[in-house]
Structure 1
Amino acid sequence: MPQINQQLKEQGYFKQFPPPGVEVVSWYVMMGIGQVVTLRVPADRLREVNRAIESTAWGGYRTEFYPTYNYKAAAQKLREEMNK
């Protein structure tokens, strides 16, 4: 772990991730999977977040990036409309 953290430090990970103004909603360590970080990111900043991960985390971590959005309110509205 110290070697990984040193590599991340040298690559600027701790300074660049998450970018300013991006909210970390949760950060879990999932045994057998790795770390799962949930961020709240404006859509127009998605590329910036991905770039911060690509340029600073690779090598220390293997990364995968899965943009999602919260569909709860839209699903509730649709359900209400369909049940009229």
Structure 2
Amino acid sequence: MKYLLLIMLFNASTSFNAWASDEQNDELMLTIFLKHDQSKNLSEIKEILNNANFYKHFPPEGTTVESWKVMMGIGQVVTLRFPAALLPKVNLSIERYGWKAYSTEFYPTYDLYPIVKEEIKKARTNN
């Protein structure tokens, strides 16, 4: 599944590069998988998070939550947008306050939908 995503991102790179050249800023988007430890039930996970003051520290000040979803059987998937300089702060907020409750995966992210939307529009008007 990861390889399919990488192939899709690679194939979109030409379109994305043209689109991204208009977006000159230092913001990053990062998708974080907060993977549930299935040896713990939800009450145990919440207790760990409360004891660690997780929600006091995550997401850190200066970040914007783009989405926060539950992926059933996996855990939570959080996408943040923030200035690049805050990357260490985002990482530390997970390492210090979330690791007993979750294992994590981090993925640099960008919004491909404007490109896909244009491709759909082109494909449907050329028929």
Give the TM bin, normalised by the shorter chain.
Answer: 0.7 to 0.9
Conserved 8 A contact 1:50-1:65: no
Name structure 2 gaps, 5 residues minimum. Answer: 1-41, 116-127
Correspondence 1:1-84 to 2 at 5 A: 1-70=42-111
Greater per-residue strand proportion: 2
Structure 1 runs, 4 residues or longer, greater than 6 Å off: none
TM-score, normalised with respect to structure 2: 0.52
CA distance in 2, matches of 1:67, 1:51: 16
* Residues 2 and 72 of structure 1: CA distance in aligned 2, closer, same or farther (over 3 Å): closer
Q: Name the CA distance, whole Å, in 2 between partners of 1:72 and 1:28.
A: 18
Alignment RMSD: 1.8
Larger Rg: 2
Query: What is the TM-score when the length of structure 1 is the normalising length?
Result: 0.75
Number of positions where the alignment pairs a residue of Structure 1 with one of Structure 2: 74
Q: Give the percent of matched residue pairs that are identical in Structure 1 and Structure 2.
A: 51
Unaligned runs of 5+ in 1: 76-84
